[in-house]
Structure 1
Amino acid sequence: MSGFSGTAVIFDLDGTLVDSEPNYYEAGRRLLAEHGVPDFTWTDHERYVGISTLETVTRWKREYGLEASVDELLAAKNRRYLELARASTRAYPEMRAFVELLAAEGVPMAVASGSSPEAITAILAGTGLDAQLRTVVSADEVERGKPAPDVFLEAARRLGVTPGDCVVVEDAAPGAAAAHAAGMRCIAVPYLAAQADAPEFATAGLLLRGGQGEFTARAAYDWLLRTR
């Protein structure tokens, strides 16, 4: 019998399983340039890491005074992102190895992401992660995005497990806050090293301050086994 009996793992997608932030940045940069904002930088983009696409474009409309509706901005950003994502999205090797280790033990797993259902499906299929990660929840399918816990709670419901039996793997402060609010443990792998001291990460059961460069599948696997 698996040593993980009763444990489920829920993965964030962007910046956690895959390095998709460069594509999100480029999609946003192009969209904003077309709407009269030509100087959107990577530093500007960092303020939106971990926030759903809907919340991001809602903030853009307000902050930049964009004339297009939120629905129009959302559709345009998703369209541009999908074009980039289908062309090139890289799964982090150690995260892929972690998923494979858990799958071999029969651990229930899900993806809970702020991306659109179409983006999640395209990325998982393009990286081959859809073979192990079949339960997927988008923030578009729940009332509130991260840092609210809705997307993680829905993932637990679909997996048929209680929130207290779930471990979330996250790269962003809003996601770590959402995991805590859901009553779930968290493995935090900050995408941005400068955010490692964010108070939201202080609630994580395992915090890897060095981000993906510090994360290893075996260490995460062993931590889960010790703390189940």
Structure 2
Amino acid sequence: MSDKLIPAFEAVVFDLDGVITKTAVTHAAAWKKMFDEYLKKREKEYNEPFSEFKQADYLAFVDGKPRYKGVASFLESRGIDLPWGSPDDSIESETVCGLGNRKNKAFNDVLKRDGAEVYPSSKKMLFDLKDAGIKLGVASSSKNCKAVLEAVNLLYLFGARVDGVVSAEHGLQGKPEPDIFTKACEMLGATPARSIVVEDAVSGVQAGAKGGFGLTLALPAKITPRNC
């Protein structure tokens, strides 16, 4: 009989932005840039009073959600009704998808210029879990997940990656629904009841609870008023 302890959990599924990498700050800045520019445009064209995109808006309406859903959620909070459009819309299009694509360009511009940074404690945890034989997955609403993980040379650690691209391919619902986390478990050959979710967004914590995961670890959000 082996003297090794059998782990209580067989898999850990991590969120990306704000958990593994410090890109949550970059996302928040990109959202603020896009929305503030658009709201100022509406002030000029429609004489609507300008009210900036704030930290509270980021946390309540876009944090952890698929990009276009985040756009629609924030616009609804301001009473702004735009056509949905198409994912192929240009960044000049005044549609939900057009604004989402505008935000994505702002994020990618910063990523290409500055790269991405990993939280040292998260990196150590990933390697410790890998060495212990725990299956690792990453689940993110972002369609930039693969590019970010490649930029920090961590993609190879994960046996499953469920991001915005995979979600679109499989018709998965975004957070707070648990689809991306349960799909990651399925790809890993693990059960949610014996898996852990690590998140920093309220919507992600809600998703972990809905998915029947054995444990959901909620990390404090690292977005401050200065960042957003």
Task: Give TM class, smaller chain.
Answer: 0.7 to 0.9
Spell out, residue by residue over 1:55-94, the C-alpha distance to the aligned partner (whole angstroms, 9 max, x if none).
2111133334265222212222222212223323221110
Q: 2:55·2:223 contact (CA, 8 Å) conserved in 1?
A: no
Instruction: Work out whether 1:44 is the aligned partner of 2:70.
Output: no
Q: TM (normalized to structure 1)?
A: 0.75
Higher relative contact order (CA 8 A, sep 6+): 2
Shift of 1:25: 1.7
Counterpart residue identity of residue 51, structure 1: K
- Partners of 1:25 and 1:17 lie apart in 2 by 16
Spell out, residue by residue over 1:130-151, the C-alpha distance to the aligned partner (whole angstroms, 9 max, x if none).
1312421014514311111111
Give structure 2 stretches of 5+ with no counterpart: 41-49, 83-93
Q: Which has the larger radius of gyration?
A: 2
1:5 to 1:19, Cα distance in 2 relative to 1, 3 A: same
| 2:35 counterpart (32, 38, 63) | 32
Map of 1:157 onto structure 2: 186
Give structure 1 stretches of 5+ with no counterpart: 195-228
TM alignment of 1:96-175, pairs within 5 A:
96-116=123-143, 119-139=144-164, 141=167, 142-175=171-204
Q: TM (normalized to structure 2)?
A: 0.75
| 2:109 counterpart (83, 86, 99) | 83
The number of residues matched between the two structures is 192
Q: 1:146·1:178 contact (CA, 8 Å) conserved in 2?
A: yes
Counterpart residue identity of residue 70, structure 1: V
| 1:62 counterpart (67, 71, 76) | 76
Superposed structure 1 runs of 4+ greater than 4 Å apart: none
Q: 1:139·1:151 contact (CA, 8 Å) conserved in 2?
A: no
- Partners of 1:105 and 1:190 lie apart in 2 by 26
Aligned Cα root-mean-square deviation (Å): 2.4
Instruction: Work out whether 1:12 is the aligned partner of 2:41.
Output: no
Identical residues among aligned pairs (%): 26
